Amino acid sequence: MFKVTRYGLSIVVIATVIASAICAGVLALRNLLPWWAILALLAPDLIIYLWVLWFFRDPERDTPQGDGLFIAPADGRIADITNIGPDSELGRDGVRIGIFMNIFNVHLSRCPVDGVVESVAHRP
């Protein structure tokens, strides 16, 4: 079953309404337009709508289970591994791992390990 992330649900609903309105408008003119014009008007609409659905998908993941495993929280490619020190946002030594996600990756961060969020820091 195709599942959409809850964070993208409102965007998917808006995209559905817009795509439906465009399709209804074009199909209302189907007697006035040749078939290729109808196709030319509907194809971009369909492609953009399918991309929105694909971008906000939430597929099921079968993750390995066991002690000592650390599973990546997001799809993508590891772009950066940096040792950090006590002057970092965490205030202690550690390793920062950056994951680059392109438009074809699932843009949903999961929580692969148990833990407590002690602080959040934003850097523009």
Residues 6+ apart with CB under 8 A from 84: 90, 93, 94, 95, 96
- 114 or 12, which is more confident: 12
**What is the DSSP code string of 40-74?**
HHHHHHHHHHHHHHHHTB---------TT----SS
> What pLDDT was estimated at residue 112?
65
| % of the chain exceeding 70 in pLDDT | 98
Binned at pLDDT 50, 70 and 90, residue 13 comes out as very high
pLDDT in tens, 19-55: 999 999 998 988 898 999 999 989 999 999 999 998 8
**pLDDT value at 11 more than 90:** yes
**Does the structure show a pLDDT above 80 at 110?**
no
